[in-house]
Amino acid sequence: MKLVWDPAGIAAIEKRVDRAHDNVVDAVQRDAFRFAPKDTWAMANSIRKRNVARRRSRIIVGGRAAPYWATVEYGSEPHEIRARRKKALHWTGAKHPVRRVWHPGTPAQPFMRRALYVKRVI
């Protein structure tokens, strides 16, 4: 048996793979937007598709609009917050300014992982 590589066949396979890749990236982007918390909409609106080398694309989340996306995705442990610039922290309802407070942590709200783990049929 003789095996012959057909360049046109290889190009057709690459085109199908590229189309499937784009379809999956589009679906993950839509699901990430759908699953993202929308308290201010900044993080949900920061989810973008960006084309990179070799006609491939990837999803970008956060950026300047929502640099806190990883804390939302993975949560945070309890931690101390200290005043830096004005030497005191104050918020509406506080009895007086304080130098530090104990933050109880934030539970994870996985939206990207949830979008990535959806079973997809191409």
Give the DSSP letter of residue 23: H
CA distances from 92 to 42, 88, 89, 96 (A): 23, 14, 11, 10
Answer for the pair 88, 97: CB distance below 8 angstroms, yes or no.
Answer: yes
H/E segment holding residue 80 = strand 79-82
Q: Write down the H helix ranges in 36-111.
A: 42-45, 69-74
Quick check: 55 pLDDT over 80? Answer: no
Quick check: 118 pLDDT over 80? Answer: yes
- Given pLDDT bands bounded at 50, 70 and 90, which one contains residue 41? very high
Per-residue model confidence (pLDDT) at position 112? 96
Quick check: 29 pLDDT over 90? Answer: yes
Q: What is the rounded distance in angstroms from the CA atom of residue 44 to the CA atom of residue 29?
A: 10
Tell me the average pLDDT across 34-57.
Answer: 89
Quick check: 38 pLDDT over 90? Answer: yes
